[in-house]
Structure 1
Amino acid sequence: MLTVVLVTAVLISTGVARPSLRYLENTFTVENESEEVRSEALKRLLEVFGMEDPPHIRGLHKQPPQYMLDLYNTVADVDGVTKDPDLLEGNTVRSFFDKLHSEEIQFLFNLSNVAKTEKVLTAELHLFKLRPQASYSFNRHHFCQVSVYQLLQTSKMNTSQSRKLLSSRLLPVHSSGWEVFSITHAVRSWMADEGSNLGLLVTVRTLGGSQMDSKLVRFASGRHHHQSKQPMLVLFTDDGRRAASLENTLKDMHDTSAPPSLPVAQKPLAAQRSPRSLDYEEDDQKMPCQRLPLYVDFEEIGWSGWIVSPRGYNAYHCKGSCPFPLGQNMRPTNHATVQSIINALRLTKGIETPCCVPDKLFSINLLYFDDDENVVLKQYDDMVAGSCGCH
């Protein structure tokens, strides 16, 4: 009898200690649903940024080209918001490093990551000119003719049939620094026929047309020089995603002397973060329509590994009520004003009050590495609520 009691007690205690099968099933379902929601949400967010999958970075420790960092800081503020729509040609800028690493002044750039649908606006070859070696500092030549050719054949590169002149100009022999050459026509032909991309050839000659000593006029190469001086192709394109109203929206922003400010009287932070309840909803309805912060943290969603700048941005959101009568501070449309009047007079059943929504949207800029370790600067439309109104 005692044995039966002990066995029963052990079974009971074991049953109490273990979660029920229904509890485990519910927990598993909730966790799965939560993971599915997160996965679907990140997928949709990638679609907003024009991607199917996040770039796969393979232990990348490279620094973005200084040119791309400077360009980003020129077109975007500290939060990534576009300063002026006229500063950037198109909405996408890519930088490509030379894949050939040749001993000659010959370059090859892989453009396979550029979609065929993108419109090529401008393409530039950026070369860093080095100072002549000390033993050549007093050479009698003061200028040289630098020419950039598109290769049409890989054999007999010195013949006129095997190459096409893209750009040519005089450069001081003793100068140093970045030199930029236009190669737009070559890149457009490569985009039309990927197989025609045989690379570029650069020649340096004296004013008399003879070959210049390679030790006198030198350009940095990817093989022997620091990454910050590597030959680079910079491509400006438009992917066709730009909204027709973007230009007018952004110009409106710059026409104002100051950005829309938040109302002075705000609810305490604790009240903003309190759990939703009936009282909270009632308080929310009493709050007039206004713009409130909504920070998107790229590190928090696991994107900090491939996004260079910004680390996140304030998208803002609109919240509050649009009570009758609508004042001009509510920035109402005529339609919203009429709707508010109809609602107040109860002339038509089922007519709600106008909604508090963004009435001005700004674009942001993203600087990031793609799958091929190229650095991309891209503008995305309608990402930040600039102001709110009753509509």
Structure 2
Amino acid sequence: MSLKVDFFAGETLNGQRLIEFRLGQEAESEMSVAGAELMVRAEASPRARRLRYTLWAFTVRGNSSVGELAGATVAGGGRNGGRGWQRLDVTDAARRWAANGAHGPLRLLVDCSGCGGRVRLRLGGGAAARPLLRLRVRPRRARSRRALDCDAAASGSCCRQTYYVSFRALGWDSWIVAPEGYYANYCRGACDPLNSYHSQIVEAAALGRSTCCAPVRFSALSLIYFGDDANIIKRDLPEMVVEECDCP
């Protein structure tokens, strides 16, 4: 599963802008990071068609000193001359951050070798071009399991069945930035009319039918994807996740 990580333009260190990320409110106090990817938008000069450069990301202790290497990537040399979104694997740095509780922000310094003033890194500004941190965590099923889930409900009774939709398996990962997939879930099982309210039994009998196991509560899905001109768009899609099932 993926987590929302909020971006903030940080202070400067030796004249270079720092970037920082904080976890959203839905994050658990303890989590296991499966992978993390930093995405930075690079804008190269049109004349730098075959420019080749290296992006480096370093952790920053507080706002004063550079720490460990977080990740690096070589860009350029192709048709676009290294323009567009560049990706750096920062899994180790994110794991260290999570191991310390992730109470404070993850501060990073992004540097460029070989840019020579011909490449501009977008380290702030509008939401469509600011840096992104894709954080994948391993779900802690034991902590999130509730009685409404089928793995904890009585056999055959109405319950919520977890069901994961992978955007990568659907071939949509080329335009969806985050998440990589989500738990859509669905309802299954039978409803016992003897356990329903009296009014529901009377209504069901009058209509010649029994109550059905159905969703009674949904939640939205936050989707981040590439729009026109490679801009990044965030949209909240309502009623995409089945949260609870019952016999209405």
| TM-score bucket (shorter structure) | 0.5 to 0.7
What does residue 128 of structure 2 align with?
228
How many residue pairs get matched? 182
Partner SS for 1:116: coil
Match of 1:164, SS?
strand
Report what 1:330 is aligned to. none
SS in 2 for 1:128: strand
- Aligned match for 1:148, one of 45, 48, 57: 57
CA deviation map 1:347-368 (0-9, x unaligned):
xxxxxxxxxxxxxxxxx27xxx
Q: Describe the shift of the 1:138–1:297 C-alpha distance in structure 2 as closer, same or farther (beyond 3 A).
A: closer
CA deviation map 1:302-334 (0-9, x unaligned): xxxxxx644336xxxxxxxxxxxxxxxxxxxxx
| C-alpha displacement of 1:106 | 2.5
* Greater percentage in helix: 1
Give the 3 Å change call, closer, same or farther, for CA 197–189 of structure 1 in structure 2. farther
Query: Relative to structure 1, is the Cα distance of residues 384 and 176 closer, same or farther in structure 2, using a 3 angstrom cutoff?
Result: farther
8 Å CA contact 1:153, 1:198 repeated in 2 = no
1:107 aligns with 2:11: no
Question: What is the aligned partner in structure 1 of residue 180 from structure 2?
Answer: none
CA distance in 1, matches of 2:205, 2:119: 75
CA distance in 2, matches of 1:124, 1:93: 12
Post-superposition shift, 1:234? 2.2
C-alpha contact (below 8 Å) 2:22/2:104 kept by paired residues: no
Deviations along 1:249-291, one digit per CA (max 9) or x if unpaired, are 648xxxxxxx99xxxxxxxxxxxxxxx599645335x425655
Report the equivalent of 1:125: 38
Matched residues, percent identical? 16
| RMSD (Å), alpha carbons | 4.2
Q: 1:148 to 1:115 in 2, by over 3 A?
A: same
Mapped pair 1:218 → 2:148 = no
**Distance (Å, rounded) in 1 between the aligned partners of 2:212 and 2:200:** 21
CA distance in 2: counterparts of 1:280 and 1:234, whole angstroms: 49
Q: Name the TM-score, length of structure 2 as normaliser.
A: 0.55
Q: 1:312 to 1:282 in 2, by over 3 A?
A: same
| Structure 2 residue matching 1:108: 3-state secondary structure | strand
CA distance in 1, matches of 2:120, 2:203: 70
Supply the AA of the counterpart residue of 1:131.
Answer: A
Q: Which has the larger radius of gyration?
A: 1
Structure 2 residue 124 is the aligned partner of structure 1 residue 202:
no
Whole-Å Cα distance in 2 between the matches of residues 126 and 218 of structure 1? 14
Unpaired segments of 5 or more residues in structure 2?
153-160, 165-185, 188-198, 221-234
Change (3 A) 1:384 1:218: farther
Q: Following TM superposition, by how much is the alpha carbon of 1:245 offset from its aligned partner in structure 2, in angstroms? A: 4.5
More strand by proportion, 1 or 2? 2
Aligned to 2:69: 165
Instruction: Specify the code of the residue in structure 2 equivalent to 1:283.
Output: A
Partner residue, 2:176: none
Q: Secondary structure at the residue paired with 1:110?
A: strand
> Could you say which residue in structure 2 is the equivalent of 1:177?
84
For 1:312, which of 197, 215, 239 is the aligned residue? 239
The equivalent residue for 2:179 is none
Q: 1:105 to 1:170 in 2, by over 3 A?
A: farther
Q: Aligned pair in 2 of structure 1 residues 277, 148: CA closer, same or farther (>3 Å)? A: closer
- Which position in structure 2 is the counterpart of 1:26? none
Mark the CA change 1:92 to 1:145 in structure 2 (over 3 Å): closer, same or farther.
Answer: closer
Question: Is the 1:189–1:196 contact (alpha carbons within 8 Å) kept by the matching residues of 2?
Answer: no
Aligned partners of 1:236, 1:117: CA distance in 2, in Å?
Answer: 13
8 Å CA contact 1:130–1:218 kept in 2: the answer is yes
- Return closer, same or farther for 1:226/1:199 CA change in 2, 3 Å cut-off: same
Residues 18 and 110 in structure 2, CA contact (< 8 A), matched pair in contact too = yes
Please state if 1:189 is matched with 2:96.
yes
**5+ long unaligned stretches in structure 1:** 1-90, 207-211, 252-258, 261-275, 300-307, 314-363, 366-379
Q: Distance in 2 between matches of 1:277 and 1:152?
A: 61
Measured in 2, the distance between the counterparts of 1:205 and 1:183 equals 18
Kept after mapping to 2: 8 A contact 1:96/1:234: no
